[in-house]
């Protein structure tokens, strides 16, 4: 194994009687235990948007036995911190707790899941009216709609009016959405995995229900439709560019080679697009590229932010860089550099146990093995320069890519 590879940890995985996919990861000597509960939480439709916002804001704040202050006091007594994060397809409830407080934290978590209390007027007051999407949100929806078709939850706007649901609506939605079957629970701690799994079984045995069905459906098109779209927004404070090109999802063969090719393009500080767009021409403030992957699909995305009025120029320059890299491939030195960068980043991504727990839970929820990242540097080392060049030729051609921009003034071609 590469010296840059994070060492794989002992893991114990089991599906509980209630359907909860549970992974216990051993971290000997860890002073803190990390708990990550990942619930499917894709948008359930325009009518449910407000419900989902309120539930995410209120989950974990109070229970039928502990009010808000009592929950905060109990967490403080345990040395615990509780937080929630919502992504395009998941609601993640995170708990960091002192090692000796793990049993109490699991008990508190079970109380939050089984006996919640919601106050519709408390955690997230109703807005006075419809909230207009920002420029980036508008561009993102247009990018995905043109690339992959529609209708789809990731391309739809929110409800025009956002009525505040009542408490009963929230409790009914909790019974649908906050369920064990289909969810993933990951616990990283210094305790014996068998003992931790027994604690989880004991504390969460009363949690029932599911699956929720709140999963992203696949896009209507599996591969993005290439082309060029340009949006005009006089109120936009900057020019934005998002692309959508074909990609290979992890862990399929060819993913590692494409990952290295996109790093050469725009995935690190000395990438081609960074040098060309930012350092040479001063066109962008920020540029990045990454392979995006979720249950809806997989695509290669370039993300640029520039000064107002530069959107069309940025799109042309990006297309030229794509064509050059697809035509000739990376140099051996470029491939060597990004291979080292990617292997080192795998280690950096797990620098703290909190980051490690979040990453491992994300892998499991996304269908990857829990130790996927530990083997990633070795996978990268096996990719040849020729394979990276082939990936660039197959996937980076501008003729296979959608370029979508938003600027303060219309592009001449548009």
Q: Is the pLDDT of residue 373 over 90?
A: no
User: pLDDT band at residue 226, thresholds of 50, 70 and 90?
Assistant: very high
More confident residue, 347 or 219: 219
* Average pLDDT value for residue range 71-80: 97
Q: Is the pLDDT of residue 67 over 90?
A: yes
Q: Is the pLDDT of residue 126 over 60?
A: no
Structure confidence at residue 57 (pLDDT): 94
Tens digit of pLDDT for each residue in 267-326? 888 899 999 999 999 999 999 999 999 999 999 999 999 999 999 999 999 999 999 999
Tens digit of pLDDT for each residue in 109-122? 999 999 999 987 65
Q: What is the dihedral of CA 202, 203, 209, 214, to 10 degrees?
A: -130
* pTM of the complete model: 0.91
Tally of CB atoms within 10 A around 138: 17
For 176-234, the DSSP string reads HHS-STT-EEEEEESS-HHHHHHHHHHHHTT---------PPPPSSSSPPPEEEEEE-T
| CA–CA gap between residue 329 and residue 390 (Å, rounded) | 7
User: pLDDT band at residue 6, thresholds of 50, 70 and 90?
Assistant: low
Q: Is the pLDDT of residue 339 over 70?
A: yes
Structure confidence at residue 329 (pLDDT): 96
The dihedrals phi and psi of 292, each to the nearest 5 degrees, come to -95, 135
| CA–CA gap between residue 259 and residue 344 (Å, rounded) | 14
Q: Is the pLDDT of residue 125 over 90?
A: no
């Amino acid at each position: 194994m590469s010296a840059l590879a994070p060492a794989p940890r002992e893991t114990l995985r089991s599906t509980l009687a209630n359907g909860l996919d549970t992974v216990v990861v051993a971290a000997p000597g860890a002073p803190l235990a990390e708990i990550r509960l990942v619930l499917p939480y894709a948008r359930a439709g325009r009518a449910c948007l407000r419900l989902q916002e309120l539930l995410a804001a209120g989950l974990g704040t109070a229970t039928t036995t502990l009010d808000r202050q009592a929950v905060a006091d109990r967490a403080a007594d345990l040395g615990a911190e509780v937080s929630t994060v919502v992504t395009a397809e998941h609601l993640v409830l995170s708990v960091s707790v002192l090692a000796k407080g793990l049993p109490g934290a699991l008990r508190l978590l079970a109380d939050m899941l089984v006996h919640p209390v919601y106050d519709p007027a408390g955690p997230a007051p109703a807005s006075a009216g419809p909230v207009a999407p920002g420029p980036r949100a508008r561009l993102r929806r247009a990018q995905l709609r043109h690339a992959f078709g529609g209708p789809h939850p990731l391309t739809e706007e929110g409800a025009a009016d956002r009525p505040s649901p009542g408490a009963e609506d929230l409790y009914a939605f909790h019974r649908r959405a906050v369920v064990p079957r289909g969810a993933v629970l990951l616990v990283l701690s210094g305790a014996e995995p068998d003992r931790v799994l027994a604690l989880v079984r004991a504390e969460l045995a009363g949690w029932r229900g599911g699956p929720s069905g709140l999963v992203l459906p696949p896009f209507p098109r599996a591969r993005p439709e290439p082309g060029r779209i340009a949006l005009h927004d006089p109120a936009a404070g900057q020019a934005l560019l998002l692309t959508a090109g074909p990609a290979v999802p992890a862990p399929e063969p060819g993913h590692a080679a494409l990952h290295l090719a996109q790093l050469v393009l725009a995935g690190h500080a000395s990438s081609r697009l960074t040098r060309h767009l930012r350092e040479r021409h001063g066109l962008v403030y920020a540029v990045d590229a990454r392979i995006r992957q979720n249950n809806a699909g997989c695509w290669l995305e370039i993300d640029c932010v520039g000064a107002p009025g530069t959107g069309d120029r940025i799109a042309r320059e990006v297309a030229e860089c794509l064509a050059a890299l697809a035509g000739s491939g990376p140099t051996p030195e470029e491939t060597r550099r990004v291979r080292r960068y990617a292997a080192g980043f795998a280690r950096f991504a797990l620098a703290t146990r909190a980051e490690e727990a979040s990453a491992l839970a994300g892998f499991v929820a996304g269908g990857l093995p829990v130790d996927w990242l530990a083997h990633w540097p070795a996978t990268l080392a096996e990719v040849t320069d020729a394979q990276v060049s082939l990936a660039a030729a197959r996937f980076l051609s501008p003729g296979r890519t959608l370029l979508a921009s938003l600027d303060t003034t219309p592009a001449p071609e548009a």
